[in-house]
Each structure stands twice: as structure tokens, then as C-alpha cells.
Structure 1
Amino acid sequence: MSEIKIVRNTAPKQKPDENNLVFGKYFTDHMFEMDWNQQQGWHDARIVPYGPLELSPACTCLHYGQETFEGMKAYRNPHGEIYLFRPMENFKRLNRSNERLCIPQIDEEFALKALLELIKMDKDWVPHTEGTSLYIRPFVIGTEPSLGAHSSSEYKFLIIMCPVGAYYATGLNPVSIFVENEYVRAVRGGMGFAKTGGNYAASLKAQDVAAEEGFSQVLWLDGVERKYIEEVGAMNVFFVLGDEVVTPALQGSILPGITRKSVIELLSSWGYKVSERRLSVDELLEAYKKGNFTEMFGSGTAAVISPVGLLRYKDIDMKLSDGKIGELSQRLYDELTGIQWGKCPDPFGWTMKVE
């Protein structure tokens, strides 16, 4: 497929105030849409005015959760140019999620072409204010109008976009995390590694309970032995244990984050010892008692780096970095955001200019 039909929005919306952007509330004038069926495969690629979809109440995504999605951003550098950060990694991961949920593979190069075209059409929606960006949400939904419990015979692939403000409106402040030891989000062999709505729905109960106790996020343990660290709701996690930086190994139950991958590559280039391995909460407690557990942070598209100031397991509070952002967390945040916004050199070739 090479053709993308374009239908321009003849009634563009007023853009929101860049200084008061709310995540996921204001959407650009256009969206990308493409359909799949068994006879034609992926077809009818088009960029159309952003608006509601017409779906059958019986479509499979509504009843059986057959859907996948991605999260990525476009950034405006100090010269006003627009860049993406490792976009092919997102489309590769989307296809890995699609494979797990029995969704047809998408041509990754064509998806990137469609995204670039969409951004160029809505380039004025990429905000200029420091710390802001254009959030991009590619997603696939099963649309067959059938209540049979089977994979869909029809799909839609869409891309929508919205300008977003700085994740940390008041600065890069450490968050408090609660180790969840009652509920389970994912297990090996399940969908934990896929970016699909069911994983997020499974996390909501524990997240609400933690929020009632004053915690920002939940740290999940493995679903079998209930003792190995996995990930935080919307982020991968890293721990500084002595001279080692540890992050849980990818074993099928946690999301292979693109920011996670970038953090590992950055740390390795700086000469740090980075270990992807199983890490039990007991090992973490022992390291904390010995003074070897000194820093913790999360990584993800939305926050980039999220420092952790307090980690609670049962009735034990582990206080980290004197309640401030740790030295390594700050360095990683500065370097990654510097590359993304074009303020620092990009020796890895991670960024792609939108032309």
C-alpha cells in the first residue's frame, strides 16, 4: 500500500493555551485511519478530520478486549523543527502486541509514513513552550460485529494526537510507591509484555487503593511467587544497588519499554554496570538495610524519568535520596530530554526529523 487519501478539515479548531495543557483532552484537527478485512488485508488508508467513529455495539473490541496501542511523542527543538524519538521502536512493539492478540501485522514503514504525513498536516499543533510536546496514540481495534468469542475478521488502525504539557508541572519531584502484594496484573505466558487495554484495566483496583493511601503508583510483584519486582503501573523501574543498576529482566510479563531500552543503552555508554535480572523484594529490603539501595526511578514515554522518594512494602518504608531526585535520575532525565528536544547531541541516531 502506498496511497494515503487526504480529506482536510474545513473547520479547524481553536488551539488550547500552551501554558495550560491537560493530558489527553485536546485533539488535533486530523487523524489517520485504515481498515483490514480478510479479502483485502489493510486498505483504504486515509487522513480525515478528527471525529467520532461509527462502530457496531457488537464489535469485538468492546466485548473481548481485542485491541492494542502505542504511546509516542513529537518534540519541537529550539529552532522550531519537529522531531520524533525512536518511532520505529514503537511500531515494532505494536506489531509484537498485535501478534499476541491475534491482530494482523501492520507494515511498519507505511505506518511511519502515515504518521509523518499526519504530523505535517497538524504541525501547528506541536506546541512551542518548553517542556511541552505532541502526544501520539496509534491503536488497533477489532471491529467485526459479532458476539462470538473469537478473533475479529475486521480491524481498524488509527492514529490520533494531542498536545500535552510538561509531565512535572511543579518540577521533577520524587513520588511515593506502594508495593502491591495482594492483586496480580500479569503472569508469564499472558499479555503482560503487550501494550493492550486489558493490562491497564487489571491494574486499576490496586492503583485506586494505593491512591487512597496517598501513593502515586503501584509496584507490581510477579504473579506466581509474588516476590520478584516487575514494573510500576505505567513505567519500567530501575534500582541503584551499590555499583550496580538493576532493572527487572524481560520475561514476558512486563512491557519492553522504549525509554527503558534507551536508559540501558545510555547507562552502558557511560560505563555503568547495568543488570537485567530477577530482583526480589527481599533482596531490595536487605540492600536497603545495608545502605546499598540508594536510588530508584521509573522510565516511560510520559514522564521520561520519574524519581522515587519512598517505597513501601507492607509496613516498611524505604526512604531514598533524602526525598530528593537522585543524581543518576537527574542526569538521565537531562540527557534524554535534551536529546528529545534537540538541546543535546544525539550520538545514537535516536531522533528523526519530520520533513
Structure 2
Amino acid sequence: MARVAVLGAGSWGTALSIVLADNGHDVRLWTHRPEQAKKINNTKRNEQYLDTDIPASVIAYSDLKQAIQDAVAIVFVVPTKAIREVAKQLDQLVEPDTTIIHASKGIEPVTLKRVSQMISEELSKFTEEEIVVLSGPSHAEEVALRQPTTVTVSSIEPEHAKIAQDLFINESFRVYTSPDVIGIEFGGALKNIIALGAGISDGLGYGDNAKAALMTRGLAEIARLGTSLGANPLSFLGLPGVGDLIVTCTSAHSRNWRAGNLLGKGHKLDDVLEQMGMVVEGVRTVQAAYQFAKEQQVEMPITEGIFQLLFEDKSPKDIVGQLMNRSKRQEMDDLAQLLMERYSQ
């Protein structure tokens, strides 16, 4: 049994705490809100985020120092906008032999840093190579019900990925490893943009044809940008790529899909975010990916269209027309071509 601290008591942090508790670990679930910690400990529920029972071995804390005391691993599951703030608080508290894992999906606007880069910049005792990322098709609601789920953990240093794999793997939560941190992080982050688009498509009343096209062409955009920044194109055909894309674009569990659905029905962004009541990572990621694409000179028409809808007040139907009337081109110039170029050398 190991002591593990999970930072972030939202739906995903709660679900991962349940997985760790099922594996016999002593779990410390941290929240910055004392009233939330008290309620979790008194009721063994976290109903605002996840309507399920929480095992007795999960204890909630609002004091970060107490939460991480003697922990062999710390799991970041806070929104990307809070990553730096929490890591700064953690910097003087954490021991250098602790395994640092993150399960947050996003890219920082302006700096365009991945989550592992953000954490390593704020934790002075750790390098980017030591950080582990956990990602894959994994709705918190289903994980908490012990429904079969598969994810991938990745670190540049494989022994750190192996530690994370051993902590989490069980009969309902299968964990693979990968050395491609860049691909895993970009796959997990960028699919949220396409999930917004899938929700918009459904909100407009379009059918399966439109959504299948959006997801397929969206995967090509993800691969284009990711490989331009050093990712292995094969990663986008795996669990944190196409797997996470499918689950996020096709389920009402997905807050990015739900937000897109409301946008497609004509709601304004500010109203949608207020109505959601939870972080919609895809909105911040659209800003970062749009900026990335411009800097890398990578064509991302779906991302550009969603950016225009969110921040330039274009209508959803205008964006659809813009995408459908682009100039003629071949399909083979995307993911398949990237694979051919990489493996024909």
C-alpha cells in the first residue's frame, strides 16, 4: 500500500481517487475549499461533481502540506489554469523522490506550454523528463462505476511511467505506457477542440455524417500540429488520440460536447460557461492551438473556425459554410502522409 495525494477534488480527481483506493492505497484528496473537504469526509460523497460513494480510505484535505505528507506520489488533477498556482504552493513542500503525475488536459495560452512543462517550471526539484502524464478515453462517471476503462501513462523516463502504471492498474482500469509525452499531452488537449465542434454540430441538428467527418478531419488537424512539435504520429491513433477523441465527441458526459451543443443552439459563450458550472478546457485550448497553428504555419481550419465562433462572434452556420466551401484537395496529405513520411525513411 502506498500513500498518494490527489490534487483537485472535481469529478476526475474524485474518480482517480476511487481507483487508487480500490488498489489498496491510502489516498489524500486535496481541495482548496475547506467546506468541500469537510463535506466529503462527513458524507463520503462529492455530489457537486460525481454522484457516487467514496471509499473510506479516501480522506479529503484543504491543507496542502497535510495532504502531501509522506505521499510517494502526487497526482495533479486541477484545471490547467490552476496548474502553476498549485505547483508554486507545492514547490517548497514536496520531497524530490516523489513521483509527480498529472491527469489534466490542456495547453497554456500565450506561453503555449504543455502541462508537464508548466509543472516542471514551477517545481524546482523536478525536471520535465520526470513528470508523468495520464490520459485516455475516460469519463469520470464511468470510472467511478468501475466500468472497463483504458488509459496511457507517459514519461520521458520510463521508470516513472512504470510507477504510475503500477499505482493505477486494476481489473477495471487498464493502464498502458508510452514514451511519447508530447503526443499524449497534445492528443488529450486538442481533442477538446474537436469535441466542442461535435457538440456544435449536434446543436445545429446535423446528423452522424457531419460528426464523423468532423472527427476524422479533426484528428488530421491534431496530428498535423502535434507532429510539427515533435510528437509520434502513431500516438494519435492510440488511446490518448483517436480513443479520447471518440469518447469526448460522442457522449453527453463530455462537458466540451455539452458546451458545444449549447453554442450550436445559439447560446453565447459567457452564458454557456456560466450554465456549465465547471471548467470547459476546450475553450482555453482553442486559444492556444490557434496561436500555435499560426506560429508553426500549420493548417487547422476546424480550430480556426471554432476560434472565430468563440472569440470573433461568427455564427455556427457561417463556420460550417466556411469549412464546406474550402478549396478542393486530396485526403492523403494528412495523417496517412505523416505516417508514410516518418516510416519510409
Q: Which has the higher helix share?
A: 2
**TM-score, scaled relative to structure 2:** 0.28
Structure with bigger gyration radius: 1
